[in-house]
Amino acid sequence: MSCRNAHRLNQIVSAFLDRHKLLDPNPSWLIQESSLGGFGVFATRDIEAGEVIFQDFPVILGPRCLPNGPRVCVVCYSNKTLGPCKRVCGLDVCGEECQNSLAHRKECELVRQCSPPGIRIFENLTPIRSLLLDENDKEVVNCLIAHDRDEHGHEVTTLKKLGCQFKEDDEKFMRFVCCVLDANAFEVALEQNNIRGLYPLASLGNHSCAPNSTYVFNKSHHMLVKASLFIPKGSEIFYSYTRLIWGTPSRLYHLYRTKHFVCKCSRCRDPTEFGTYMGGILCKICRGIVVPLNPYKTHARWQCQDCKRVILGKETGELLRLLGVILRDIRQDDFPFMYKFLNGKLRSVVPENNQVAVQVKYKIIKVLGHLYPWNELTEEMLKIKETLCLDLLGLLEQLRCGKSKMRGLLLYELFCCKRESNTRASKGILDPETEGLLKEAASILEYDANAPQEIKCYLDNKTV
Ligand SMILES: [Zn+2]
Ligand SMILES: [Zn+2]
Ligand SMILES: [Zn+2]
Ligand SMILES: [Zn+2]
């Protein structure tokens, strides 16, 4: 029986969450048909900003297909000292505990059966893992959308080239799983950044570049979807599949390439991106801001908002490409260059919130106080960092991001700046406003296994 109807999807997903003890008896969500086509997740009651809407469990979790990506233990995903599993499979494990774990034993045997010894299958392991799913979990995977292009499923082709052998039905299922993973899997943003998870309920949520929710992963690899804005009863819940600090051309390109759809959200349709001009450049004649006449045709014509001069997308594309190359090559430890680039070249060719400028600002925030230790920052550097934090917090507000993860991280960095200034001025006690920054950062980053250590300690102490 086909499961692609809302009633059946709700049943299957609820039963799945219930098996993992993650089903709220009164869930604030419901799967319904979306006006975007297909299905979506909707609020069954008013949800306050910051509330956890649901917690999801990965029906499949495993390495991303990144050839030569960093190796991690295939059981716990740590990158502690690794060695090959001595049972039979030869996959990397961090020690006997993982090697002999129940979770690994079944996989170990399966890998031995299907693959010749001594080959590296790490980055293609995830589809093999799907063969171990039980009937219930297979049903969950079967009800998710699958991409159907030739480029998907190459993991299986690679495995076969390496000499792996599968039963015909198994191979067919694995190829299907690859297509489902490519359409729905989330990068699990933990330390190594190279694992992906298939989260059934979260997979059914739709994307918006002006989302009303955000998500984090906890240390058990559960995904928590939290409201970033107030969500009125009945509205659809959206999160973003791309970076919020990318301009429209970059987001549209990324979404199309990886998820094969064209986003029609309010931010994408607005050539000014809510007045931030993140994708814009400066007019060579009058220094006005140049934006695409049609955000969906950035290769076509762009126009200066002031002098109305029209230029071709080829010209803007070339400039943005060049800036992207410089951005990519910036050395992490070269603050002087970043600052000079931001206030020199960039200022002369792009508006203040152009995505390249925003990324340079974020890079500066991330190095000052970290790679450049707090006690070595000059007063000027400290002031620069503080100003940039405020600057990006303002931008996120303009983008209507609410309690996004990036806001949490910026609030924390701002808190650290204020605390450092306080220490230097030998003021012992922090003012309530500064304390408030840490408090809000912690509430946003709660449950996030990637949150700064200090935030985790703050949260732990609070609950004791
Ligand atoms: Zn391990
Ligand atoms: Zn093994
Ligand atoms: Zn969009
Ligand atoms: Zn102009």
276 CA from centroid of ligand 4 (Å)? 18
Place 150 in a pLDDT band, splitting at 50, 70 and 90.
low
267 CA from centroid of ligand 4 (Å)? 23
Whether 439 has a pLDDT exceeding 80, the answer reads yes
Whether 189 has a pLDDT exceeding 80, the answer reads no
Near ion ligand 4, which residues have CB within 5 Å? 283, 285-286, 288, 304, 306-307, 309
Which pLDDT does position 147 carry in this prediction? 78
320 CA from centroid of ligand 4 (Å)? 18
Please answer whether residues 251 and 268 qualify as being in contact, where contact means their C-beta atoms are separated by less than 8 angstroms.
yes
257 CA from centroid of ligand 3 (Å)? 14
Which pLDDT does position 215 carry in this prediction? 95
What is the distance between the alpha carbons of residues 91 and 282, in angstroms, rounded to a whole number? 52
* Torsion angle, alpha carbons of 318, 323, 325, 326, to 10: 150
pLDDT (tens digit per residue) in 155-166: 899 999 989 999
Residue for token digits 């171990």? 132
Average pLDDT over residues 206-233: 96
Mean pLDDT, rounded, of the chain:
92
281 CA from centroid of ligand 4 (Å)? 10
340 CA from centroid of ligand 3 (Å)? 32
The vertex-420 CA angle with 414 and 422, nearest 5°, equals 105
Place 190 in a pLDDT band, splitting at 50, 70 and 90.
confident
What is the distance between the alpha carbons of residues 186 and 17, in angstroms, rounded to a whole number? 17
452 CA from centroid of ligand 2 (Å)? 33
User: Would you kindly state where each structural domain of the chain is located, as residue ranges?
Assistant: 6-57+199-239, 64-180, 243-334, 371-464
What is the distance between the alpha carbons of residues 116 and 88, in angstroms, rounded to a whole number? 11
Which pLDDT does position 14 carry in this prediction? 97
Task: Compute the half-sphere exposure of residue 363: CA atoms within 13 Å on the CB side of its CA.
Answer: 21
Task: Compute the half-sphere exposure of residue 303: CA atoms within 13 Å on the CB side of its CA.
Answer: 9
At 69, list the tokens. Answer: 């990506």
Return all residues near 46 (Cβ < 8 A) that are at least 6 apart.
230, 231, 232, 233
- Beta strands across the sheet bearing 186-188: 60-63, 195-198, 186-188
Whether 53 has a pLDDT exceeding 70, the answer reads yes
463 CA from centroid of ligand 4 (Å)? 56
Average pLDDT over residues 227-254: 94
Bridge pairing between strands 236-239 and 39-43: antiparallel
CATH (one of 3.30.470.10, 2.170.270.10, 3.30.450.150, 3.30.70.270) for 6-57+199-239: 2.170.270.10
Which pLDDT does position 382 carry in this prediction? 97
180 CA from centroid of ligand 1 (Å)? 27
Average pLDDT over residues 330-356: 95
Which pLDDT does position 34 carry in this prediction? 94
pLDDT (tens digit per residue) in 372-382: 999 999 999 99
Whether 193 has a pLDDT exceeding 70, the answer reads no
Which pLDDT does position 192 carry in this prediction? 66
99 CA from centroid of ligand 1 (Å)? 7
- Ligand nearest the Cα of residue 96 is 1
316 CA from centroid of ligand 4 (Å)? 14
Residue for token digits 């494990």? 93
- Ligand nearest the Cα of residue 248 is 3
Is 0.85 surpassed by the pTM of this model?
Answer: yes
Which residues are paired to 225 by β-bridges?
54, 215
54 CA from centroid of ligand 2 (Å)? 34
Which of 183-192, 279-288, 346-355, 414-423 has the least mean pLDDT?
A: 183-192
Which residues are paired to 29 by β-bridges?
43
- Ligand nearest the Cα of residue 261 is 3
Q: Which helix (H) or strand (E) holds 312?
A: strand 310-312
Near ion ligand 2, which residues have CB within 5 Å? 85, 87, 89, 108
Can you list the alpha helix ranges (DSSP code H) found in 200-304? 200-203, 248-259, 266-269
| Cβ neighbours of 371 (radius 10 Å) | 11
Place 2 in a pLDDT band, splitting at 50, 70 and 90.
low
Which of 83-92, 97-106, 151-160, 305-314 has the least mean pLDDT?
A: 151-160
| Cβ neighbours of 32 (radius 10 Å) | 16
Nearest in space to 364 (alpha carbons), one of 345, 344, 392, 404: 392
Which pLDDT does position 213 carry in this prediction? 97
Which of 7-11, 88-92, 139-143, 210-214 has the least mean pLDDT?
A: 88-92
Classify each residue of 49-87 as buried b or exposed e, where b means 16 or more C-beta atoms within 10 Å of its C-beta: bbebbbbbbbbbbbbbbeeeeebbbbbbbbeeebeebeb
Percent of the chain with pLDDT over 90: 75
Average pLDDT over residues 241-260: 90
Average pLDDT over residues 211-215: 96
Which of 42-46, 56-60, 105-109 has the least mean pLDDT?
A: 105-109
* Torsion angle, alpha carbons of 345, 346, 351, 353, to 10: -160
Average pLDDT over residues 43-51: 97
Please answer whether residues 45 and 105 qualify as being in contact, where contact means their C-beta atoms are separated by less than 8 angstroms.
no
Place 90 in a pLDDT band, splitting at 50, 70 and 90.
confident
pLDDT (tens digit per residue) in 166-181: 999 999 999 999 999 9
249 CA from centroid of ligand 3 (Å)? 10
